Amino acid sequence: MEIDEEKIDEAILALLYLTLHDGDRAWKSFDWDAMNRLHEKGFIGNPVGKAKSVLLTENGLRESERLLQKLFAKDS
């Protein structure tokens, strides 16, 4: 099976929104390769380090909220 990394990245970015704290920080307990790709795309700060959370960029905050709605919101 071939994995669509773009879909994985979108889902992880959406799930990061669920773990937001302190305004723009999220727990970084996801796949390291995916976290690195999100960093390369400019959605999060550098995930490498001892901190257990990662900083979402302004664009990352907007996109993570949009993707949460797109991927997981129930239709009303």
pLDDT (tens place) for every residue of the chain, 76 residues total:
888 999 999 999 999 999 999 999 999 889 999 999 999 999 999 999 999 999 999 999 999 999 999 999 887 6
What is residue 65's predicted lDDT score, i.e. its pLDDT?
Answer: 95
- The CATH architecture one would assign to domain 5-72 is Orthogonal Bundle (1.10)
- CA pair distance 52, 28, nearest whole angstrom: 6
What is residue 35's predicted lDDT score, i.e. its pLDDT?
Answer: 95
Which of 60, 6, 59 has its CA nearest to residue 28? 60
Sequence spans of domains, the chain: 5-72
What is residue 57's predicted lDDT score, i.e. its pLDDT?
Answer: 98
